[in-house]
């Protein structure tokens, strides 16, 4: 079972970036997200979440509110290094979006 929750602290955002790197292995100029952008998204009320197994982040999901305001969420990136963590994240993201209309 995975614990899925929003993350906003710098240390966890760095861990989130580490999972992105493990899943996609982007080049230094091609990362789909950067820690600074993750921090801005998290602090402005967007969806930035991690899936944890035994206290270790094993999956990530990032989305941001889109037009029209209050109606749409753009799911930007979701990935996991453990089977099932991606599914758990998408269910959590769905609940998060439904709670916001």
Could you tell me if 36 and 76 are in contact, meaning their C-beta atoms sit under 8 angstroms apart?
A: no
30 CA to centre of own chain: 18
CATH code of residue 15 = 3.40.630.30
What is the pLDDT of the chain when averaged over all its residues?
92
63: its two tokens: 């989305």
The model's pLDDT over 61-90, given as tens digits with 9 standing for 90+, comes to 999 988 887 788 999 999 999 999 999 999
Q: What angle do CA 39, 97, 83 make, to 5 degrees?
A: 75
- Output the pLDDT for position 55: 96
What is the longest distance spanned by two Cα atoms in the chain? Answer: 38
* Residue-range definition of the domain harbouring residue 57: 3-99
């Amino acid at each position: 079972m995975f614990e899925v929750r929003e993350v906003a602290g710098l240390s966890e955002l760095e861990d989130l970036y580490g999972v992105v790197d493990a899943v996609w292995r982007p080049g230094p100029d091609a990362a789909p997200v950067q820690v600074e952008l993750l921090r801005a998204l998290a602090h402005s009320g967007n969806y930035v979440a991690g899936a944890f197994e035994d206290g270790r982040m094993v999956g990530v999901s990032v989305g941001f509110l889109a037009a029209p305001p209050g109606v749409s969420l753009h799911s930007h990136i979701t990935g996991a290094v453990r089977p099932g963590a991606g599914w758990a994240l998408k269910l959590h993201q769905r609940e998060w979006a439904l709670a916001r209309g």
